[in-house]
Chain A
Amino acid sequence: MSDLVIDGVSVTHGSTLAVDDVSVRIDSGDLVAVLGPSGCGKTTLLLAIAGLLPVGAGSISIGARELSRPGRTVPAEKRGIGWVPQEASLFPHLSVADNIGFAVPRGRGARRGLRGFHSDVVDAAAAPAAPARSGRAARIAELAELVGLGDLTGRAPNQLSGGQAQRVALARALAPRPELLLLDEPFAALDTQLRVGLRREVAQLLRAQGTTSLLVTHDQEEALTLADTVAVLRDGRLEQFGTPEQIYQHPASDWVASFVGDVVELEGLWRGGRVTCALGAVEATAVGFAPTDGDRVRLMLRPEWIVPRPELLAHAAAGADARVAAISYAGHDAMLSCDVVGGPTVRMRMAAVELPQVGDDLRLAVQRPGLAFPVAPPPPQI
């Protein structure tokens, strides 16, 4: 199969080392999110994969075909990699149809575009003959239909809304049947409601097409909900590569833990696989180091791992009494700030079905093992 292999890649952008020794292997057909704060080098990595920036070290290849190594960059037009930039970037002088058909050759004589594009990467049996036979217009109509813009092909780009423009950009990138599709924060400029709907539809569409896709985003929720696998990037380095569940439940570092979601931090003493802290002796896994009994450690919990009414839990050996100090209501769930008796304030998230009142007393327990990290300078709060 033609997996994307990024092996020890470093990219210098301007005078800064924007991507530093990143290695990732992406299975064919997967939707992978590249997640990181702005300025972490994720867009630079995407441009290097697209062939728009040269790599300073390492190599990028698809299947047996090497695309980039220092001193040799297969030009973007020979890679068969589609790109949907931020802000759609439609050609303003072309209609929607001509934008979509930009890479679809005109007439019989001009099939070079499609075939030259893929002759060496696509299985001959599945090669493009079918769309070429039915003609350029048919292919454009098919793509416009695919992204739900069938009746807008005659419009000019400046007559489109932001979401429509992104659909056109997606159809345009899909037109030459790319082996790999790169999406650079394609939903960032849209308002929240539209973003949520469009990204779900796009993810479905990409899965239905079987296109391997790389989605760059700084939005944790977007990465976790859409992707098969998430690559977390920080300052140009790969912090973690794993399924959304691994990233969230088993972060590789305290930075990843607090970057991908809310955390509750408590200090405590390590003893035999448990951390004794304000919430009692909480079962925990040490991440990235091997503590010995009696060491001071930082315990990290997700707010929803803390639950009231411990008698419902089988292994809720630990527990602590607390009083609800504040409730931040978010509709589907709520974040409770609770003052632990004789201890700190912890935040817990619970489904907003039967919420306690401010001032109620609760007995808190932790429903799954927490994460123990060495005591160190506090990580940046997100």
Chain B
Amino acid sequence: MIIAPEAVEPRRRPAPVTAPAVPRRPPALLVLAAGVAAAAAAIPLVYLVVRAAGGGVGAMLDILARPRVLEYAANSLGLAAAVTVSALVLGTATAVVLSRLRVPFPRAWLLVSSLPLAVPSYLAGYGWLVTVPAINGFLPSWILLTAVTVPYVTLPVAAALRGASGDLEGVARTLGRGPVGAFLVATWPQVRPAAIAGSLLVALYSLSDFGLVAMMRFPTLTWGINQAYAASFDRAQAAVLALLLVVLALLVVVGERSARGQLPRQAARAVAPRTIRRGMLVALLPVVATAPAVGVVVPLLGLLARLLEAQTLRELDVPRLLGAVGATVGVAVGAALLAVLLAMPVAALASRYRGRLVSALESVSYLGHALPGIVVGLSLVFFALAVVPALYQSVVVLVFAYAVLFAPKAISTMRAGLGDVPPRLVAVARTLGDSPLRAWWRVTVPMALPSVGIGALLVAIATMKELPATLLLRPTGVSTLATELWNRTVIVEYGAAAPYAAMLVLLAAVPAVILSGVRTVAKEEL
């Protein structure tokens, strides 16, 4: 029997979704695997608490009361607060300009405004030091951190503005509000959760940052931890400082999660961008262009100028540079594989099942997102020395540290990818004779494969840029591009550092930019 295929048909329109076959209880093996991943993620924090509390509460309080410690804490909090406020203001303004005004090449501008995310803070610091060697202290730290972190606010706020219903604003206008008043009363409440979540990410980044503040010689907690551990070998003080930093970071992350929970999900008719005079556009250019200029353009130009100097090229140690490239790529690949391996069961569990146990395992696995790199590095030094001395100063611990730090990037991408596979398709495979495992392998995995690849790539990129944990954990003789750049910068050998900085941009920043152009989801994870 032949049925003639019809010539023209409308596209399938969405129908009410039936949700078949969502088993209530997750398979024990999956829970076990996710439990292992969560346990791995918990090691640094747990061991840090053990170590810091080891000297007794009295000793801890003594350390906390030291004037140096109070100064570090005040500097960290002050810097984080200043950067958060300035990034919130600048990021929101940028987002409003890009999504509410008719600017030429809007997509290109959005990409440009996300560029600073690809540049590690210490690279921006290096690029400025090369250009203006005299800068140091709070002011340059504040300005540079703001420039680098503004996209954390710009991107989610721009997305929220696109998703916010414009009808409400129109209603407010017909009820007598002016354009600004209508925006504030109707649209801002829809955007606020995104702005708050984004600025708390900025706060977290500022608290955790080590490379930039150290280059600017501004003594924050991260700098203090490194000093206490590496310079004065005061490990008790290092542990207490790290614990203090973790508490602050966790507070910020809890706030960020709850703000994110209030994000509206509905897609609605957005307000069409308004056309304004060319003169106004030019006047608004600084709003959009400041962060990319300060965070990306100036540092890269400074780097390029120094790289092309005759002396730099003459003194270029090619074997050493290639060695650093090899080490960087090597640990990045190792970290990506391990992180994906740890993330897989957690993502599989979280994408399909609900319940207290599931969300607890998922939250613990996300710990690395909240832990500053220097804290993970310090804690794993303690852990390796005390528990697995054979592995101390081995590449195993280093890769493990990366995996703990960056597994959350893999989890969130893979969780989204696995969650996007309709349960109905898996159910169809079941009715066609596949066992649950076989259906997972034939349907879920191939459909989620791109998200696994992107997750791995995100981890690899983050690993290549990582500095503080690498400084603490790298085996003797192993140098990554980041540590080579760092070691030369702190002894003011800017020229010798230039090739490593350039290589780091090529290896880490360029793929990051390409990736952010490919996938919007990936942007915030950079």
Once A52-B430, A75-B435, A76-B431 are accepted as A-B contacts, the answer to whether A184 and B18 lie under 8 Å apart by CB is yes
Check A50 against B12 for contact (C-beta < 8 Å).
no
Check B428 against A148 for contact (C-beta < 8 Å).
no
Residues of B within 8 A of A120 (CB): none
Identify the interface centre among B2, B15, B18: most chain A CB within 10 Å of its CB: B18
- Interface status of A234 (Cβ within 8 A of chain B): no
**Option from B21, B431, B433 in Cβ contact (under 8 Å) with A53:** B21
Q: Which of B106-114, B223-231, B419-427, B479-487 contacts A (4 or more CB under 8 A)?
A: B419-427
Interface 1/0 per residue, B426-452 and A, CB below 8 Å? 011111111110110011001100000
CA distance A161 to B13 in the complex (A): 11
Once A163-B9, A184-B18 are accepted as A-B contacts, the answer to whether A113 and B3 lie under 8 Å apart by CB is no
CA distance A53 to B434 in the complex (A): 16
Residues of A within 8 A of B6 (CB): 161, 163-164, 194, 197
State the interface size on chain A (CB cutoff 8 A). 59
Check A89 against B425 for contact (C-beta < 8 Å).
yes
Once A47-B20, A53-B20, A162-B11 are accepted as A-B contacts, the answer to whether A77 and B430 lie under 8 Å apart by CB is yes
CA distance A82 to B429 in the complex (A): 10
Check A147 against B433 for contact (C-beta < 8 Å).
no
CA distance A146 to B2 in the complex (A): 6
Q: Which of A129-137, A165-173, A266-274 contacts B (4 or more CB under 8 A)?
A: A165-173
B449 → A minimal CB distance (Å): 8
Interface 1/0 per residue, B215-239 and A, CB below 8 Å? 0000000000000000000000000
CA distance A83 to B13 in the complex (A): 20
- Interface status of A201 (Cβ within 8 A of chain B): yes
Check A103 against B21 for contact (C-beta < 8 Å).
no
B228 → A minimal CB distance (Å): 53
**Option from A79, A113, A149, A204 in Cβ contact (under 8 Å) with B431:** A79
Residues of A within 8 A of B13 (CB): 189
**Option from B20, B424, B435 in Cβ contact (under 8 Å) with A77:** B435
Once A52-B20, A82-B431, A145-B2 are accepted as A-B contacts, the answer to whether A162 and B443 lie under 8 Å apart by CB is no
- Interface status of A326 (Cβ within 8 A of chain B): no
**Option from B9, B15, B447 in Cβ contact (under 8 Å) with A188:** B15
Check B9 against A113 for contact (C-beta < 8 Å).
no
- Interface status of A305 (Cβ within 8 A of chain B): no
Interface 1/0 per residue, B1-31 and A, CB below 8 Å? 1111110111111111010110000000000
Residues of A within 8 A of B11 (CB): 161-162
Once A92-B447, A93-B446, A173-B431 are accepted as A-B contacts, the answer to whether A86 and B15 lie under 8 Å apart by CB is yes
CA distance A145 to B2 in the complex (A): 7
**Which residues B388-443 have CB closer than 8 A to chain A?**
422, 424-425, 427-436, 438-439, 442-443
Check B5 against A152 for contact (C-beta < 8 Å).
yes
- Interface status of A38 (Cβ within 8 A of chain B): yes
CA distance A87 to B439 in the complex (A): 20
How big is chain B's contact interface, by range? 35 or more
Residues of B within 8 A of A117 (CB): 433
- Interface status of A116 (Cβ within 8 A of chain B): yes
**Option from A76, A194, A201 in Cβ contact (under 8 Å) with B9:** A194
Q: Smallest CB-CB separation from B450: which chain A residue? A: A93
**Option from B1, B21, B447 in Cβ contact (under 8 Å) with A205:** B1
CA distance A43 to B432 in the complex (A): 18
CA distance A193 to B21 in the complex (A): 33
B435 → A minimal CB distance (Å): 6
CA distance A38 to B1 in the complex (A): 33
Check B4 against A148 for contact (C-beta < 8 Å).
yes
Once A162-B9, A188-B15, A194-B9 are accepted as A-B contacts, the answer to whether A85 and B424 lie under 8 Å apart by CB is yes
Check B433 against A113 for contact (C-beta < 8 Å).
yes
- Interface status of A190 (Cβ within 8 A of chain B): yes
Residues of B within 8 A of A93 (CB): 446-447
Residues of B within 8 A of A87 (CB): 12, 14-15
B263 → A minimal CB distance (Å): 25
CA distance A121 to B13 in the complex (A): 37
Residues of A within 8 A of B20 (CB): 47, 50, 52-53
Check B3 against A147 for contact (C-beta < 8 Å).
yes
Check B2 against A103 for contact (C-beta < 8 Å).
no
Residues of A within 8 A of B446 (CB): 93
Q: Smallest CB-CB separation from A169: which chain B residue? A: B428
Identify the interface centre among B13, B21, B431, B446: most chain A CB within 10 Å of its CB: B431
Q: Is the interface of B mostly helix, strand, loop or mixed?
A: loop
**Option from B4, B5, B12 in Cβ contact (under 8 Å) with A88:** B12
- Interface status of A81 (Cβ within 8 A of chain B): yes
Residues of A within 8 A of B443 (CB): 91
- Interface status of A191 (Cβ within 8 A of chain B): yes
B515 → A minimal CB distance (Å): 22
Check A81 against B433 for contact (C-beta < 8 Å).
no
**Option from B4, B9, B12, B433 in Cβ contact (under 8 Å) with A103:** B433
CA distance A82 to B432 in the complex (A): 7
A146 → B minimal CB distance (Å): 7
Check B5 against A189 for contact (C-beta < 8 Å).
no
- Interface status of A176 (Cβ within 8 A of chain B): yes
B438 → A minimal CB distance (Å): 8
CA distance A219 to B10 in the complex (A): 20
CA distance A191 to B12 in the complex (A): 9
Check B431 against A83 for contact (C-beta < 8 Å).
yes
- Interface status of A255 (Cβ within 8 A of chain B): no
Check B432 against A172 for contact (C-beta < 8 Å).
yes
**Which residues A198-219 have CB closer than 8 A to chain B?**
198, 201, 204-205, 208
Q: Smallest CB-CB separation from A84: which chain B residue? A: B428
Check B432 against A89 for contact (C-beta < 8 Å).
no
**Option from B12, B424, B432 in Cβ contact (under 8 Å) with A189:** B12
**Option from A76, A146, A189, A194 in Cβ contact (under 8 Å) with B427:** A76
**Which residues A72-115 have CB closer than 8 A to chain B?**
75-79, 81-83, 85-89, 91-93, 102-103, 113-114
Check A190 against B18 for contact (C-beta < 8 Å).
no
Residues of B within 8 A of A82 (CB): 431-432
Q: Smallest CB-CB separation from B431: which chain A residue? A: A83
**Option from B5, B12, B18 in Cβ contact (under 8 Å) with A148:** B5
Residues of B within 8 A of A189 (CB): 12-13, 15
Once A117-B433, A176-B432 are accepted as A-B contacts, the answer to whether A191 and B21 lie under 8 Å apart by CB is no
CA distance A103 to B430 in the complex (A): 10
Q: Smallest CB-CB separation from B434: which chain A residue? A: A77
Residues of A within 8 A of B424 (CB): 85, 89
CA distance A47 to B432 in the complex (A): 14
Once A52-B21, A76-B21, A188-B15 are accepted as A-B contacts, the answer to whether A81 and B431 lie under 8 Å apart by CB is yes
CA distance A365 to B428 in the complex (A): 53
Residues of B within 8 A of A78 (CB): 433
Residues of A within 8 A of B438 (CB): 77
CA distance A113 to B436 in the complex (A): 14
Once A85-B428, A89-B428 are accepted as A-B contacts, the answer to whether A167 and B3 lie under 8 Å apart by CB is yes
Check B430 against A148 for contact (C-beta < 8 Å).
no
Q: List 11 A-B contacts (CB under 8 A).
A: A38-B16, A47-B427, A75-B430, A77-B432, A82-B431, A86-B18, A91-B447, A161-B11, A163-B9, A164-B5, A205-B1
16 other contacts beyond A91-B443, A114-B433, with CB at 8 A cut-off? A38-B16, A52-B427, A53-B20, A76-B427, A77-B433, A79-B431, A81-B431, A87-B14, A103-B432, A148-B4, A161-B8, A161-B11, A163-B9, A173-B431, A176-B432, A191-B9
A binding-site residues for B, Cβ under 8 Å: 38, 43, 47, 50-53, 75-79, 81-83, 85-89, 91-93, 102-103, 113-114, 116-117, 145-149, 152, 161-165, 167, 172-173, 175-176, 182, 184-185, 188-191, 194, 197-198, 201, 204-205, 208
Sort A-B residue pairs by CB-CB distance and give the 9 closest, nearest first.
A148-B3, A161-B9, A76-B430, A103-B432, A52-B21, A83-B431, A162-B12, A52-B20, A47-B20
